[in-house]
Amino acid sequence: MHHIEKINTDLVIIGAGAAGLSAAIAAQQKIKNVLIISKGRLFQSGSTFANINNQWGITFAENETEGDYLENRINSISKGTNVPYLSRILVKESCSAFEMLLSWGVEFQNGKDGKINRVAPCFCTEPLAAIIKSCKQFAESCNRQIDWERVKLLPETKAEKIIIKSNKFTGINASHKNQLIKIEARTAIIATGGNASVFSHHITEPGLTGDGYKLLEDIKHEALIRFSNMNFQQKVWEDISAPKKRFRLSCLWKPEYLFRSTEGKTASLDTLGTAVLRKRMTHVPISNLQQDRIVDEILLSLDRHGRGIEVINRQTGRCEYTILPFVQANNGGVITGENGETALPGLFAAGEVTTGMHGGDRIGGMMIANCLVFGTRAGRAAADFIQ
Ligand SMILES: Cc1cc2nc3c(=O)[nH]c(=O)nc-3n(C[C@H](O)[C@H](O)[C@H](O)COP(=O)(O)OP(=O)(O)OC[C@H]3O[C@@H](n4cnc5c(N)ncnc54)[C@H](O)[C@@H]3O)c2cc1C
């Protein structure tokens, strides 16, 4: 690798998803020397811009009643695996995060009355999530906002190593098309997203290989970096047959369906009570911590080798889908304080690479809210650190 360039900046942000962009915008309003690097293409990579649904929802609390409900739900489904004060901040600032998106020009789906429609997110019964019109429209709004704030961008540039000298963060070694770039910076924010794409079945873009975890793992002892909840992946059932179709989750609770392994072993979910099936109806991802995980466990026990589970319509005898769990996101990550600070002064983290705001199970729409709330906080704190 040739050493081509030395860059000097106050703040380098690694990753250009919801977390990295909101951090950059918040920091740029306080300091003027902010650089984002992204190994993927700008506004096209990461789960924020490139996911199989081409859209996402953001959950937020508009008033105290919604806030109390949301905070209680997070604490209740997390069963002690979240950090309650971070969850509280997330809920309290979720509405500002949503309003920030509106101020960027992001468009949301409307109801029949022409107002933004809110739906019940996973693990909730109250309508608290607004859904964007498309990732494309979101990308255009972000692009405009970043342009307007004059944030500097370095696309297709991959952070390879965090540099520490005398117990202080001093910069990043990065690569661009096989050439080395030494970025000297006073602070950095790691916003590299999750690691879903290291798994053979995932619904993210292929670049999400968890680089942030590796960058931080490499300095773990020197910088006292700690991780938590890394065993809690968020997985969803997807079809693997050709031509691939989207699996209708409702097959899980419709009595006409039977589940069969490729070796012919069958299981039905009829024997489970309606109470547990009704709980399973409230979320798309397979739960890690709730009682209704039993539903998915029955299916998982049919297929220990990852060959796929056939979903058979009892009336027609036809196999309508062959399904497997696909990784969507990671609920674990690096432990930070309320402003994304790690134990190493000058080094911050935000977004899916972090953990604690939710636990082993996460309320739908709360990851985008998390990226925006703690991205903004990390951006401001990094700017303050410099000042
Ligand atoms: C199909 C799907 C649907 C989802 N739906 C929802 C939803 O409805 N609501 C919700 O709240 N959440 C949802 N999520 C989760 C949510 O989208 C993500 O957790 C969130 O977008 C992560 O944002 P982020 O900014 O942390 O990372 P990302 O958006 O993943 O961005 C990571 C960035 O880091 C860059 N990067 C990575 N490694 C490096 C490196 N070494 N050097 C430089 N750059 C690097 C990437 O190029 C990218 O720019 C969904 C996820 C998926 C996959």
Predicted local distance difference test score (pLDDT) of residue 304: 82
Longest Cα separation, the chain: 70
Cα–Cα distance for residue pair 6/107, rounded to 1 Å = 39
Q: Which residues of the chain register pLDDT less than 50?
A: none
Residues 333 and 82 sit within 8 Å (Cβ to Cβ):
no
Which pLDDT tens digit goes with each residue over 230-273?
999 999 999 999 888 999 999 999 989 999 998 999 998 888 88
Q: Rounded to an integer, what is the distance from CA 310 to the centroid of its chain?
A: 29
Cα–Cα distance for residue pair 211/193, rounded to 1 Å = 8
* CA 19 to ligand 1: nearest atom: 25
Q: Where are the domains of the chain?
A: 2-231+331-386, 234-327
* CA 37 to ligand 1: nearest atom: 43
Predicted local distance difference test score (pLDDT) of residue 327: 97
The architecture CATH gives domain 2-231+331-386: 3-Layer(bba) Sandwich (3.50)
Predicted local distance difference test score (pLDDT) of residue 243: 87
Predicted local distance difference test score (pLDDT) of residue 244: 86
Which pLDDT tens digit goes with each residue over 114-153?
999 999 999 999 999 999 999 999 999 999 999 999 999 9
Predicted local distance difference test score (pLDDT) of residue 1: 60
Characterize the bridge pairing of strands 257-261 and 309-313: antiparallel
| pTM: predicted TM-score of the whole model, two decimal places | 0.97
Which residue has its alpha carbon closest to ligand 1 atom 25? Answer: 17
Testing ligand 1's pocket by substitution, the residue of 142, 366, 367 carrying the most ligand atoms inside 8 A of its CB is 367
* CA 366 to ligand 1: nearest atom: 11
Give residue 330 CA to ligand 1 midpoint distance, Å.
10
Question: What single string gives the DSSP state of each residue in 46-106?
Answer: HHHH-BTTS--EEE---SHHHHHHHHHHHHHHHTT-S-HHHHHHHHHHHHHHHHHHHHHT-
Testing ligand 1's pocket by substitution, the residue of 192, 208, 234, 370 carrying the most ligand atoms inside 8 A of its CB is 192
Give exposure, 63-101, as e/b (b: 16+ Cβ within 10 Å).
eeebbebbbebbbebbeebbbeebbbbbbebbbebbebb
Characterize the bridge pairing of strands 347-349 and 179-190: parallel
